[in-house]
Structure 1
């Protein structure tokens, strides 16, 4: 049985100016953020789905490397309930030959790592301990 369920929790875009993005989405479109900081703005966009807008610098620091040439500066996230599940999904991706950035404890309180699919698109596998993480976790079947 695969460790990674078929779902995404976050779509993260690297943006040139978080304040400008806030002015567009929040002030202009009237969307309500679930979380805001200098480097990131998180907006619920569907049931159990967050659009996360990060500064390019914060995005690069989080994933460990700038986006590869020709690959859009975005990540998809798959949230899980425990650190052990994060490690299991990353191990599964590594076994398939995917480049993996090992999981670490993050400044925001969670635990996450990354893998790249065959085309270089990055998936974050994360255990997020706060409301944002609880919001995006899919119920277990």
Structure 2
């Protein structure tokens, strides 16, 4: 098996609210949008973010575990500077992201903050110096 990831799929409660957040709010471009079913956004070369209606997700994949707290994963959007981290977080705040945690310097040398999308998935907005930053930025 080759080492790669091609698709990240997230189950969402309200696909149209999700579309408004990502497409209308953040300005991302939909690759495929089937109302009531799925929204696919190309987020990198050969990588798609698939936002799938929760009921359709559960019908194919199985019941979703629920409970208190944050989903045990984060998605990351890396940028080239601390200032860009702050700008992306400001945009997320303007389009209704909740919560938004301001950028802070991290012990490992980077600068990151977080925002939540309409389903509570956390996006890390990060400036990562060194090899990691070089590996993930265009």
Are the aligned partners of 1:110 and 1:128 in contact in 2 as well (CA < 8 Å)?
yes
Are the aligned partners of 1:4 and 1:89 in contact in 2 as well (CA < 8 Å)?
no
Larger Cα-atom Rg: 2
Assess, with a 3 A threshold, how the Cα gap between structure 1 residues 83 and 100 changes in structure 2: closer, same or farther: same
**What is the CA-CA distance between 1:70 and the residue it aligns to?**
6.9
**What is the CA-CA distance between 1:72 and the residue it aligns to?**
2.7
**What is the CA-CA distance between 1:47 and the residue it aligns to?**
8.4
User: How far apart are the structure 1 equivalents of 2:28 and 2:79?
Assistant: 9
RMSD: 3.1
- 1:7 corresponds, among 34, 43, 64, to 43
User: How far apart are the structure 2 equivalents of 1:4 and 1:83?
Assistant: 21
Assess, with a 3 A threshold, how the Cα gap between structure 1 residues 69 and 120 changes in structure 2: closer, same or farther: same
Q: How many residues align?
A: 82
Match of 1:75? 74
Larger RCO (CA within 8 A; separation ≥ 6): 1
The gaps in structure 1 that reach 5 residues or longer are: 9-45, 49-67
Are the aligned partners of 1:7 and 1:78 in contact in 2 as well (CA < 8 Å)?
no
**What is the CA-CA distance between 1:4 and the residue it aligns to?**
7.8
Match of 2:126? 126
**Residue pairs, 1:1-141, within 5 angstroms:** 7=43, 69=68, 71-98=70-97, 99-138=99-138
**What is the CA-CA distance between 1:135 and the residue it aligns to?**
0.3
Match of 1:34? none
The gaps in structure 2 that reach 5 residues or longer are: 1-25, 30-41, 48-66
